[in-house]
Amino acid sequence: MSQFKFSVGPWNVHAGADSYGPPTRQEIDFDTKLAKFAELGFSAIQFHDDDAVPNINDYTEEQIKEKARELKKKLDKYGLAAEFVAPRLWMDEHSIDGGFMSTSAEDREYAMWRAYRSIDIARELDCDMIVLWLAREGTLCAESKSPVWATRQLIEAINKMLAYDPKIRVCIEPKPNEPIDRSICGTMGHVMAISAATIDPSRVGGNLESAHAILAGLDPAHEIGFALAMGKLMTVHLNDQNGIRYDQDKTFGVENLRAAFNQVKVLKENGYGSHGEYVGLDVKAMRTTTDEDCYKHLENSLKIFRALEKKVDRFDYDFQKKCVETRDFEALEMYVMNLLMGID
Ligand code: GLO
Ligand code: MG
C-alpha cells in the first residue's frame, strides 16, 4: 500500500491530436473520466478553470460560483477532492501574447479576471491552491518586452491574487520553453526567487514537473529536493521526457528509471504528503494508443511509482553510509543498479 495520495487532471486522458495531426481516439466525457479516476485509485482531481466551468467567459461571477458548487457535488459523489484550479491562459484570444505580462493592458486585465475566477472556483471546491503554469509568459520575440518589466508584472499579479484571498496559495509550475521561446520563470530556482519577492512568500511555492526540469537540462529529483529544502514544494507533476525535445509527458519512469527512483526517494525521505500534498501525474497517452487503452499510461505510471516506492523501502542505508565513508561510489552506484534490475 502506498503512503501517498495521487491526483490527476482530466487532460491526462485525451483524444491523441498533436500539432501535426487530428485526433486518433474518441473524446471521453468528463463524468466518465471522474468515475474511472476514482476506480484507478486517485484521490483528487486537478482542474483548469474551464475544466471546472466550461465556457467560463460566458458567465457572470455568480454563475461561475454556482457552476463550481454543482461540480463539488459531483466530486463528492465519487469521493474525490479538488487539488487545485489553474487559469488556462494560453487558449483564449486574449492570451495570444501571454497573460500577466502580455503587451496589451486589456489582455493583462483579462488574465487577472481568470486568476480571480480560478480562486473563486477553488473556494467553492474546498481547495486553497491555484496553479500558474505560465505557458505564454515570456517572449516570442526577445525585443518585444523587457524581462525586467515582465518579471515585475508577474510579481505584481501574484500579489493581487494573494490580496484577493487571504487563504489562497499560489503554486507556480515552471517550464523553460514551449509554447513560448524564452520563459520568464523557467525553473524552480526562479519560482523561489519570485516567491521571496511577493507580499507573502509563505503562500507562494512551486509545482515541479519532471519533464519541465529535464527540458531545462536539470535533474527532477534535485529540483524537487531544492523546493523541499525551502519548504515550498506544493505539488508535483510526475512524468518522463526524452531529453531536450518537445514536451512529451511520458509515463512516469519509462525513459530514465534511475531518475524516477530518485524522485520517489527524495519525496519519501522528506515526508512529502504529510501536509496533505498529492503526488500529481501529468502524463499523455501515445498517439498510437487505442480507445480501450486510453487510461493505460496512468495505470502504468501508478504501477511504476508504487514499485519504486518498494525499491526505496528496500534501499540499504547502512550500505550507503559505508560506501560514503570509504568514498566507494562505484559500489554504491552498482548497488542502485542491482536494486533497480532486481539482482540481489
Ligand atoms: C504543460 C503543463 C500543463 C499544466 C497544466 C496545469 O506543459 O505541464 O499540463 O501542468 O496546464 O496547469
Ligand atoms: Mg504540468
> Per-residue pLDDT tens for 274-293?
999 999 999 999 999 999 99
How many Å lie between the centroid of ligand 1 and the Cα of residue 133?
6
Q: Which atom of ligand 1 is nearest to the CA of 178?
A: 7
Ligand 1 centroid to 167 CA: how many Å? 23
Give me ligand 2 centre to Cα 281, in Å. 8
Please tell me the distance between residue 344's alpha carbon and the centre of ligand 2 in angstroms: 36
pLDDT band of residue 119 (cuts 50, 70, 90) is: very high
Q: 114, 237, 249: which to mutate for ligand 1, most atoms within 8 A of CB?
A: 237
User: What is the distance in A from the centroid of ligand 2 to the CA of 208?
Assistant: 8
**Helices 188-196 + 147-164 axis angle, to 10:** 60
Q: At what angle do helices 188-196 and 220-229 cross, to 10 degrees?
A: 20
What does the angle CA 44 – CA 65 – CA 164 come to, to the nearest 5 degrees? 90
Please compute the mean of the pLDDT values over residues 16-21 and round it to a whole number: 96
Write out residues with Cβ below 6 Å of ligand 1. 86, 131, 133, 173, 175, 209, 237, 247, 282
Check whether 333 has a pLDDT greater than 90. yes
Q: At what angle do helices 257-269 and 220-229 cross, to 10 degrees?
A: 10
pLDDT 10s digits, 203-218? 999 999 999 999 999 9
Provide the residue type at 175 as one letter: K
Distance between CA atoms of residues 136 and 139, nearest Å? 8
| Residue 282 near residue 239 (C-beta atoms within 8 A) | yes
Query: Residue 189 pLDDT more than 90?
Result: yes
Domains in the chain (CATH in brackets) are: 6-314 (3.20.20.150)
Q: Minimal CA–CA distance to 133: which of 168, 94, 180?
A: 180
* pTM (2 d.p.): 0.98
Question: What amino acid occupies position 55?
Answer: N
Residue-wise pLDDT tens digits, 36-84: 999 999 999 999 999 999 999 999 999 999 999 999 999 999 999 999 9
Quick: pLDDT tens for 314-325: 999 999 999 999
Check if the beta carbon of residue 75 is closer than 8 Å to that of residue 121: no
CA distance 128 to 45: 13
pLDDT of residue 238 exceeding 90, the answer is yes
Pick the residue whose CA is nearest to atom 5 on ligand 1. 133
Whose alpha carbon is nearest atom 2 of ligand 1?
Answer: 133
Ligand 1 mutation pick, 49, 171, 282, 284, max ligand atoms within 8 A of CB: 282
Atom of ligand 1 nearest to the CA of 209: 8
**Most informative mutation of 133, 175, 250 for ligand 1 (most atoms within 8 A of CB):** 133
The answer on pLDDT for 1 being more than 80 is no
Rounded average pLDDT over 222-246:
98
Query: How many Å separate Cα 228 from the centre of its chain?
Result: 15
Contact 97, 153 (CB under 8 A): no
Ligand nearest to the CA of residue 247, numbered in listed order? 1
The reported pLDDT for the residue numbered 76 is 98
**Burial (CB count within 10 angstroms: exposed 0-12, middle 13-18, buried 19+), residue 12:** buried
| Chain mean position to CA 196 | 21
DSSP-derived secondary structure letter, 251? P
- What average pLDDT does the chain have? 98
List the grid coordinates of 9: 487532471
Q: Burial code of 317-331, b = ≥16 C-beta within 10 A, e = fewer?
A: eeeeeebeeeeeeee
DSSP alpha helix (H) spans, the chain: 30-40, 49-52, 61-77, 105-124, 147-164, 188-196, 210-215, 220-229, 257-269, 296-314, 317-325, 329-341
- Of ligand 1's listed atoms, the one at least distance from the Cα of 86 is 12
Q: Which residue from 49, 88, 173 has its CB within 8 A of the most atoms of ligand 1, so it is best to mutate?
A: 173
- Residue 278 dihedral angles phi and psi, to the nearest 5°: -100, 155
- Cα separation, 66 vs 53, in Å, equals 10
Query: Are 215 and 183 contacting, i.e. CB atoms less than 8 angstroms apart?
Result: no
Q: How far is the CA of 296 from the centre of ligand 2 (A)?
A: 19
pLDDT score for 2: 85
